[in-house]
Every structure is written in structure tokens, then in C-alpha cells.
């Protein structure tokens, strides 16, 4: 009963209060899920070769995370703590499968593009990380905001990394040639410019993420861990 009384006393928080807005904006900069929380690195290797893939993956992760955070947050007072990780896993896996099955039936072309990402979304540690760190302890609305923020933070970083990898690795952006046609050898290529094949290989994603982390922490010294 005590809980109910407390609720009625507290003034109702507006939907877009400062605190809720911060949940969205923080992960974009000083609490970025990839560069600060260092989550979701594994998918960063796989899908940042082309900008298009990064955009599709980013959108899928945002979608799954909003629904997942909402469901986990609604169930948070019912989930037994000993099996909470399994429950989170069941929720995210079922969500991804449902989305994939529906797409397969109604939008087969989109489903074909996404099929690659299904496994990657389920194993994306940002989703499980936010379930565990935020949705398990917060009300549904802030959890949705947190999902949007972290999803955007993840997608944004993926697109930045993919921008550099696609531009210097393949000489294109979103599939459009920037430096001229590599196979025909015109444009910049006729002057002896070469694509950097190392950019296509997975380790370069880590190096670019590392450089971004370096730049971010040298601009904001507070982010450097002390130990």
C-alpha cells in the first residue's frame, strides 16, 4: 500500500522532462554505448564495411531495443532475479524472430536484406546490457527513452565508422562512387589513387573505434577512467 500513497503524492513527471531528455541525449555523446560503455563492438566489426548496412542494422537495433526495453520494464517486478538473464534473452530472441517472420511474409525484399542481421541483433550486447542495467530498474517510459538514446548512439557510431571504412576501403558512400569508378580506373584512380584494402578487413573497425574513443576522451578528460 505504501507505494501507492507515495505515487499519488509525487507530482506527475512530464513526458519530456529534463531527466527523460537526458536519457536520450547522454548516450549520443558522453555515455555512448560503443565508445564509453564499450558494448556492441562485435557487430561493429561485421556491419561497418558499408554505410547502408550500418543504417539497416542501426534501425533494427533501435526497433528491437525500444520494444524489448518496454517489455522488460513492464515485467521488471515479476522477473525472478535468478533467471533474469535468461528471461531477457528469451524476450530479445522472440522479438527478433517475430519481426523476421512478419517481414518474410509481407515484405520479403526487406527480409532478405535483414536476414544477415538477425543473428547479430540477438547477440548484440547493447540490447542485453540496457535490459539489465536500465529496464530492470526503471519505469516503462524512461526505459523507452533510454532505448531510443542508446539505439541512436549505437547507430550513429556505426554510421561514422562505416563512413570512413566505405569511403577509403571501397571509394563509395552508400554505394555511390565518390572517387570515380575503381574497375574502370577513371576519376581519382587514373591519377594513381588506390583503395585501402585494409579498411575492408574487420580489424580496421576496431582501430577506427579506438581513434574515436581517443579523440572523445582527449576532448573530455572526465571520461578517462582513473586506476
Partner 1 sequence: MAINKDSNSYTFVFAIVLITVVGTILALLAMGLKPMQAKNDEVKKKLDVLSALMTPKEMETIDRSNAAEIFEKYVNLEDALVLDAAGKVKEGLKAFDIDIRREYKDKKLQEADRNYPLFIAKKDGKTFYIIPMIGKGLWGPIWGNVCLAEDMKTIQGASFGHQGETPGLGAEISQPFFVNRWIGEQISDESNEFSKFEIVKDGSGAAMPSRVDGITGGTITSVGVQEMANRCLKVYVSYFNNL
Name the site residues for partner 1 (rule: CB under 8 A): 46-47, 49-50, 53, 78-83, 86-87, 90, 94, 97-98, 101-102, 104-106, 108-109, 115-116, 119, 166, 170, 183, 197, 200-201
152/158 with CB nearer partner 1: 158
Collapsing DSSP states into helix, strand and coil, what is residue 36? coil
Rank residues 32 and 170 by Cβ distance to partner 1 and give the closer one: 170
Question: Minimal distance in Å, beta carbon 196 to partner 1?
Answer: 11
- In angstroms, give the least distance from the CB of 35 to partner 1: 22
Minimal CA–CA distance to 39: which of 127, 116, 121? 127
Nearer to partner 1, 97 or 215 (CB): 97
Burial class (CB in 10 A: 0-12, 13-18, 19+), 194: exposed
Q: Residue 49 — φ and ψ, nearest 5°?
A: -75, -35
The residue (of 46 and 125) whose beta carbon lies closer to partner 1 is: 46
DSSP string, 54-113: HHHHHHHHHHHHHHHHHHHHHHTTTS-GGGHHHHHHHHHHHHHHHHHHHHHHH-HHHHHH
H or E element that contains 172: strand 172-173
Least separation in angstroms between residue 113's CB and partner 1 is 9
Residue 9 C-beta: closest distance to partner 1, Å: 23
Amino acid at each position: 500500500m505504501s507505494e501507492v500513497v507515495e505515487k499519488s503524492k509525487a507530482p506527475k513527471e512530464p513526458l519530456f522532462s529534463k531527466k527523460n531528455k537526458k536519457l536520450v541525449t547522454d548516450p549520443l555523446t558522453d555515455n555512448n554505448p560503443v565508445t564509453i560503455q564499450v558494448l556492441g563492438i562485435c557487430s561493429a566489426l561485421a556491419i561497418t564495411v558499408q554505410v547502408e548496412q550500418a543504417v539497416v542494422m542501426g534501425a533494427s537495433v533501435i526497433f528491437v531495443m525500444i520494444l524489448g526495453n518496454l517489455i522488460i520494464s513492464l515485467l521488471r517486478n515479476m522477473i525472478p532475479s535468478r533467471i533474469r538473464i535468461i528471461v531477457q534473452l528469451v524476450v530479445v530472441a522472440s522479438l527478433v524472430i517475430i519481426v523476421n517472420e512478419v517481414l518474410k511474409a509481407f515484405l520479403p525484399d526487406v527480409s532478405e536484406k535483414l536476414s544477415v542481421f538477425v543473428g547479430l541483433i540477438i547477440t548484440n550486447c547493447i540490447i542485453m546490457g540496457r535490459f539489465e542495467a536500465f529496464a530492470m530498474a526503471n519505469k516503462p517510459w524512461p526505459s523507452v527513452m533510454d532505448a531510443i538514446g542508446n539505439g541512436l548512439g549505437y547507430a550513429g557510431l556505426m554510421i561514422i565508422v562505416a563512413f570512413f571504412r566505405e569511403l577509403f576501403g571501397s571509394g563509395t558512400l552508400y554505394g555511390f562512387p565518390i572517387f570515380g569508378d575503381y574497375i574502370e580506373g577513371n576519376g581519382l584512380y587514373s591519377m594513381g589513387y588506390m583503395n585501402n584494402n585494409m579498411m575492408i578487413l574487420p580489424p580496421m573497425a576496431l582501430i577506427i573505434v579506438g581513434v574515436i574513443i581517443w579523440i572523445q576522451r582527449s576532448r573530455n578528460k572526465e571520461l578517462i577512467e582513473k586506476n
